[in-house]
């Protein structure tokens, strides 16, 4: 379905990462994890890109997307938006979804790939679902961890949620995991991995590597769900 809406709020999340909240068009319903196609007008050209809806279906007043700004044309057009500017949206799309149907899930995120997972975690927390969730979230730098404060806050609200970070280029004070998500990390943090449904999202190479590791660890194919963002 096609909708016209406007920018309600812009939120700085991390260096070069911003959330754009649009007034939620009436009649737009979606599941946690789905995406929308956003069209912007820039110098008489139309620019169109797919983005995860990073807000949860429980957040009824707005529809949010969260973008890593890269300096490329779409990023620049987005970065120049102001509150009240018009935006066209087509939605919802995609089957990388969580509807509360699993008792135990695990999430592996790389960088901006956190967006659909944040949406699912917010959904599970707001709906007070019993689903056990472990998220392992990898970033290059500590200050690039998107939604960190909110993830911490949701861990306090939702006793079924556990969040583990790893950083590939940590500062001296970092006392969490170092390096990419690997087999040992998954074995240690998710000992019951064979029983869990995995949601993986990040750059294509990261997703590919995670799927290979899970297969090696005997996680059945039907328990592996993946989404990747080309271009990162």
Ligand X SMILES: Cc1cc2nc3c(=O)[nH]c(=O)nc-3n(C[C@H](O)[C@H](O)[C@H](O)COP(=O)(O)OP(=O)(O)OC[C@H]3O[C@@H](n4cnc5c(N)ncnc54)[C@H](O)[C@@H]3O)c2cc1C
Residues found near ligand X in the complex (CB under 6 A): 35, 49-52, 65-68, 70, 72-75, 112, 115, 227, 229-231
Shortest Cβ distance from residue 37 to ligand X (Å)? 9
In the sheet where 2-14 sits, what is the strand order? 45-52, 35-42, 86-93, 2-14, 17-23, 62-68
Whether 163 contacts 177, CB under 8 Å: no
Shortest Cβ distance from residue 57 to ligand X (Å)? 16
Q: Which is nearer to ligand X, 76 or 223 (CB)?
A: 76
Could you give the CA distance from residue 150 to residue 129 in angstroms, rounded to a whole number? 18
Q: Which is nearer to ligand X, 171 or 230 (CB)?
A: 230
Could you give the CA distance from residue 112 to residue 34 in angstroms, rounded to a whole number? 15
Shortest Cβ distance from residue 107 to ligand X (Å)? 15
**200, exposed or middle or buried, with CB in 10 Å at 0-12, 13-18, 19+?**
buried
Q: Which is nearer to ligand X, 38 or 190 (CB)?
A: 38
Shortest Cβ distance from residue 111 to ligand X (Å)? 9
Shortest Cβ distance from residue 194 to ligand X (Å)? 28
Shortest Cβ distance from residue 128 to ligand X (Å)? 26
Q: Which is nearer to ligand X, 145 or 186 (CB)?
A: 145
Phi-psi label, residue 179: left if phi above 0, alpha if psi -120 to 50, beta otherwise: left
Could you give the CA distance from residue 77 to residue 79 in angstroms, rounded to a whole number? 6
Secondary-structure percent of the chain, ordered helix, strand, coil, rounded to 5: 25, 40, 35
The secondary structure of residue 195, as a DSSP letter, is G
Q: Which is nearer to ligand X, 151 or 185 (CB)?
A: 151
Shortest Cβ distance from residue 200 to ligand X (Å)? 13
Question: Which of these, 36, 55, 197, lies nearest to 126 by C-alpha position?
Answer: 55
Q: Which is nearer to ligand X, 49 or 144 (CB)?
A: 49
For residue 92, what are its two tokens? 């919802």
Neighbours of 210 (CB within 10 A): 25
Q: Which is nearer to ligand X, 115 or 139 (CB)?
A: 115
């Amino acid at each position: 379905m096609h909708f016209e809406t406007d920018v309600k709020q812009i939120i700085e999340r991390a260096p070069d990462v911003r959330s754009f909240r649009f007034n939620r068009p009436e009649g737009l319903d979606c599941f946690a994890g789905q995406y929308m196609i956003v069209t912007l007008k820039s110098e008489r050209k139309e620019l169109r890109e797919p983005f995860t809806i990073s807000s949860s279906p429980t957040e009824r007043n707005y529809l949010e997307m969260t973008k890593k700004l890269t300096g490329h044309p779409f990023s620049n057009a987005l970065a120049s938006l102001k509150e009240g500017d018009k935006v066209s949206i087509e939605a919802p799309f995609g089957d990388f979804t969580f509807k509360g149907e699993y008792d135990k899930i695990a999430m592996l995120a790389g960088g901006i790939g956190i967006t659909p997972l944040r949406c699912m975690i917010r959904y599970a927390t707001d709906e007070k679902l019993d689903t056990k969730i472990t998220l392992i979230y990898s970033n290059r730098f500590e200050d690039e961890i998107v939604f960190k404060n909110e993830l911490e806050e949701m861990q306090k609200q939702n006793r079924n949620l556990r969040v583990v970070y790893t950083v590939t280029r940590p500062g001296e004070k970092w006392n969490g995991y170092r390096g990419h998500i690997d087999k040992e990390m998954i074995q240690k943090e998710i000992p019951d991995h064979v029983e869990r449904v995995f949601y993986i999202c990040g750059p294509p190479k990261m997703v590919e590597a995670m799927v290979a590791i899970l297969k090696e660890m005997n996680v059945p194919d039907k328990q592996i769900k993946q989404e990747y963002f080309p271009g990162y």
